[in-house]
Amino acid sequence: MTSQPRDSYDVVVVGSGIGGLCCAAMLALYDNKVAVFESHTHPGGAAHGFSIEKDGLKFQFDTGPSFFSGLNPDLPPKSSNPLRTVLDAIDEQVECIPYSSFGLLFPEGEFVHTPEFDADVLSQFGNAQAEWKSLMKFMEPLAATVAALPTAALRGDIGVIKSAAPFLPKLILNPQPWNNLLLTQPYSEVLKQAGVRNTFLKNWIDLLCFCLSGLPASGTISAEMAMMMGEFYEPDAVMDCPRSGAKSIVDALVRGLEKNGGDIFCRSHVDKIEIDVRGQAVGIILHKNGQRIRAKKAVVSNMSVWDLLKSGIVDRKHFPAWFLEDREDTPVGKSFMHLHVGFKASREELAKLQAHYMFMKDWSLGVEAADNAVLLSIPSVHDESLAPAGFGVLHAYLPATEDFATWEGLDRKSKEYQQLKESRSSYLWSTIEKVIPDIRERVIVSRVGTPLTHQRFLRRYKGSYGPAIKAGEASFPFPGTPVKGLLLCGDSCFPGIGVPAVAGSGLLAANSVSLDSLDAQIDVLRKFRLRQSSSLIRKQ
Ligand SMILES: Cc1cc2nc3c(=O)[nH]c(=O)nc-3n(C[C@H](O)[C@H](O)[C@H](O)COP(=O)(O)OP(=O)(O)OC[C@H]3O[C@@H](n4cnc5c(N)ncnc54)[C@H](O)[C@@H]3O)c2cc1C
């Protein structure tokens, strides 16, 4: 990383989440002088990695995401995975360990989810298997539509006519074009039209939706599910465990940025995005030394919509009232309880476990209820590099079901806070015990993270997972703002929450900075199509 920023760049990106990094890496590829400024000591935002050392033992943890697919450089790229599109465009790879199963701990029993999920598990629940098959059939044209127009082909200006044109025939030739309208509807509408009534199946899909968007099927946009189902349930689908954790994705994006002349500065909190008298974003001011950095073309914010508009970083007088009202009222998704543990375990013991478990205590409470769903990730099952031999790491968390209000205003050094941490993490410990009964005797290091931790280290308003925008009621906005030269990316923007989605938002923001990028964008798309067709030929 460079040590000292210049006084001027073409584009300045505020925040190094996956959205900000993808945006910056693409802008650097498009020949812009670009710099990313990040408050935290590590880049990556929700996807940053951190390590804890004790008695000479080093444990490497992921802060957030651990479910990935479509990244493996040995497998053909899919147009529906914008993160892979960015990695391919900047010619960077993430080494992945493929795997295809994870555990389900449900009130009905314990199951292993494999590519034969319908035959192995759904067949035990009435007509769930038959309904699943109908759903998959129903989803085919929807998935084809999502795949037909990659996010990489979009941009926020007139150039979209040229960049998207090669993809339109496939979109229009869809055998059931009217079905495309369903993509903007809640996924519950797709379930209804596909005839899904089985209770177990509906519960399972609610949980899948919730893990993806932070909302059940009734609030999750069908386009996101069409994208995800394609990756998850294709006959040869595998999941990717990135070697060394999500950090390796962040590292690959930083490498891509830097090799094309971009800069990234951590411990560099941005105090102000400057907007001049003409109402144009012209640069930023750094907190640590008050340095003013000019942005000749644009400032791109990777902050959440609330952090951008409510933290004082922008002067609100430059935004029309309708914009402020509309965006500030974006519903705030709940926060997390985290438990990271480094523990004793031999390779043989780890090999008997799954790398992920989804736990659900009681379906009748709903997937959004507190102390109900838990996600447990044990990446050491596949990746030996995260802990010394004889040890492993795990991360258990309440997936966006923790109320920020319970924690708001507490002093992190107070006894009350410590006690609350202990009591609120007990549900996570008891869930881990269902998989590793003697986990407490095996612990070497453990850390409890609360909504305040999430807010502080990830700089997320109220420690939120992201906008709880319900499909059918509103939609995730595009990157433009009423302030000229100020663009947005990240999970407050289209297409939504999740690593592939925010990568798409970064691509879209990069494509929307100026028309100068049009030829370079078309070149990226051409290479992408070539890569896809050559891997198809190899497959045949
Ligand atoms: C526990 C958890 C598990 C998840 N699991 C998955 C999963 O398995 N698969 C998946 O696809 N997705 C998952 N997600 C979602 C995914 O991680 C996020 O949607 C995505 O990483 C958010 O990226 P972003 O670009 O919006 O930026 P963020 O990650 O929010 O990063 C924004 C960055 O901006 C910085 N910043 C903010 N303000 C300033 C400022 N003023 N100056 C400088 N820097 C600033 C912040 O420090 C931060 O680094 C998970 C999320 C969490 C929390």
For residue 10, how far is its CA from the centre of ligand 1 (angstroms)?
24
For residue 409, how far is its CA from the centre of ligand 1 (angstroms)?
23
Please identify, by atom number, the ligand 1 atom nearest to the C-alpha of residue 311.
Answer: 41
Q: Is the CB of 502 under 6 A from ligand 1?
A: yes
Q: Domain map of the chain by residue range?
A: 117-153+164-232
Q: Which residues are registered as beta bridge partners of 61?
A: 50
Three-point CA angle 327, 328, 329, nearest 5°: 90
Q: Which residues are registered as beta bridge partners of 292?
A: 285
Q: Is the CB of 496 under 6 A from ligand 1?
A: no
Q: Is the CB of 262 under 6 A from ligand 1?
A: no
The answer for 267, left when phi > 0, alpha when psi is -120 to 50, beta otherwise, is left
Q: How many helices (H) and strands (E) does the chain have?
A: 18, 18
For residue 511, how far is its CA from the centre of ligand 1 (angstroms)?
21
- Amino acid 538: pLDDT: 56
CB 42 within 8 A of CB 48: yes
What is the DSSP annotation of 227-278?
HHHHHHHSTT--EEEETT-THHHHHHHHHHHHHTT-EEESS--EEEEEE-TT
Q: Which residues are registered as beta bridge partners of 374?
A: 359
Collect the ranges in the chain with pLDDT lower than 70.
Answer: 1-2, 174-178, 534-540
Report phi then psi at 351, rounded to 5: -65, -20
Report phi then psi at 34, rounded to 5: -130, 145
Please identify, by atom number, the ligand 1 atom nearest to the C-alpha of residue 460.
Answer: 30
- Amino acid 237: pLDDT: 83
Q: Which residues are registered as beta bridge partners of 251?
A: none
Cis peptide before 495 (omega within 30 of 0): yes
What is the best residue among 459, 460, 462 to mutate for testing ligand 1's pocket, by most ligand atoms within 8 Å of CB? 459
Query: Structure tokens of 162?
Result: 């040229």
Residues in contact with 454: Cβ distance below 8 Å, sequence separation at least 6, in sequence order: 335, 336, 338, 460, 463
Residues in contact with 261: Cβ distance below 8 Å, sequence separation at least 6, in sequence order: 28, 33
Task: Tell me the pLDDT tens digit for each residue of 229-263.
Answer: 877 787 778 999 999 999 999 999 999 999 999 99
For residue 536, how far is its CA from the centre of ligand 1 (angstroms)?
33
Q: Is the CB of 66 under 6 A from ligand 1?
A: yes
The answer for 383, left when phi > 0, alpha when psi is -120 to 50, beta otherwise, is beta
Please identify, by atom number, the ligand 1 atom nearest to the C-alpha of residue 399.
Answer: 1
Q: Is the CB of 17 under 6 A from ligand 1?
A: yes
- Amino acid 230: pLDDT: 73
In angstroms, rounded to a whole number, what is the distance separating the alpha carbons of residues 229 and 191? 13
In angstroms, rounded to a whole number, what is the distance separating the alpha carbons of residues 221 and 505? 16
For residue 390, how far is its CA from the centre of ligand 1 (angstroms)?
31
**For the chain, what is the radius of gyration of the CA atoms?**
23
Q: Which residues are registered as beta bridge partners of 398?
A: 337
Task: Tell me the pLDDT tens digit for each residue of 493-537.
Answer: 999 999 999 999 999 999 999 999 999 999 999 988 887 776 655
From first CA to last CA, the distance across the chain in angstroms is 43
What is the best residue among 62, 502, 507 to mutate for testing ligand 1's pocket, by most ligand atoms within 8 Å of CB? 502
- Amino acid 145: pLDDT: 86
Alpha-carbon distances of 195 from 134, 136, 143, 226, rounded to whole Å: 8, 11, 18, 17
Q: Is the CB of 64 under 6 A from ligand 1?
A: yes
In angstroms, rounded to a whole number, what is the distance separating the alpha carbons of residues 208 and 367? 10
Q: Is the CB of 270 under 6 A from ligand 1?
A: yes
User: Residue 40: helix, strand or coil by DSSP?
Assistant: coil
State how far Cα 121 lies from the chain centre. 28
Please identify, by atom number, the ligand 1 atom nearest to the C-alpha of residue 43.
Answer: 49
> Tell me, what's the ipTM?
0.99
For residue 400, how far is its CA from the centre of ligand 1 (angstroms)?
13
State how far Cα 483 lies from the chain centre. 26
What is the best residue among 210, 302, 330, 488 to mutate for testing ligand 1's pocket, by most ligand atoms within 8 Å of CB? 302
Please identify, by atom number, the ligand 1 atom nearest to the C-alpha of residue 492.
Answer: 26
For residue 46, how far is its CA from the centre of ligand 1 (angstroms)?
3
- Amino acid 73: pLDDT: 87
Report phi then psi at 176, rounded to 5: -130, 70
- Amino acid 77: pLDDT: 84
Q: Is the CB of 81 under 6 A from ligand 1?
A: no
Q: Is the CB of 201 under 6 A from ligand 1?
A: no
Please identify, by atom number, the ligand 1 atom nearest to the C-alpha of residue 397.
Answer: 1
Please identify, by atom number, the ligand 1 atom nearest to the C-alpha of residue 377.
Answer: 8
* Ligand 1, atom 5: closest residue by C-alpha: 65
Diameter of the chain measured on Cα atoms = 66
Three-point CA angle 262, 268, 272, nearest 5°: 100
State how far Cα 289 lies from the chain centre. 32
For residue 490, how far is its CA from the centre of ligand 1 (angstroms)?
8
